[in-house]
Structure 1
Amino acid sequence: MPSRVLAVQLSPVHEFRKEPAGEIELVEGYGVRGDAHAGATVQHLHRVKKDPTAPNLRQVHLIHAELFDDLAELGHTVRPGDLGENVTTTGLDLLALARGTRLTLGAAEVQVTGLRNPCYQIDDFQPGLLKRVLRRHGDGAVERLTGVMAVVTRGGTVRPGDHIGVAAPGGPLVALAPV
Structure 2
Amino acid sequence: MTLEGRVVALAADREHHFSKPSRDQIVLVEGHGVEGDAHAGPFVRTDTSPVASPASQSAAGPSDPSELFATLVKADFEVGSGDLGESITLLAWTLSACRKVA
Moved over 3 A (4+): 56-59
Higher strand share: 1
2:43 pairs with one of 38, 41, 44 = 41
**1:67 corresponding residue in structure 2:** 68
TM-score by length of 2: 0.70
Q: Provide the secondary structure at the position in 2 that maps to 1:88.
A: strand
Distance 1:14 1:63 in 2: 21
Higher helix share: 2
| Larger RCO (alpha carbons 8 Å, 6+ apart) | 2
1:61, CA displacement in angstroms? 3.5
Q: Provide the secondary structure at the position in 2 that maps to 1:70.
A: helix
List runs of 5+ in structure 1 lacking aligned partners. Answer: 44-55, 104-110, 112-166, 170-179
List runs of 5+ in structure 2 lacking aligned partners. Answer: 46-55
Q: Percent identity?
A: 36
Q: Does 1:18 align with 2:9?
A: no
CA RMSD of aligned residues (A): 2.8
Alignment size in residue pairs: 88
- CA deviation vs aligned residue, 1:85-141 (integer Å, no higher than 9, x gap): 00111123x5xx9xxx343xxxxxxx5xxxxxxxxxxxxxxxxxxxxxxxxxxxxxx
TM-score by length of 1: 0.42
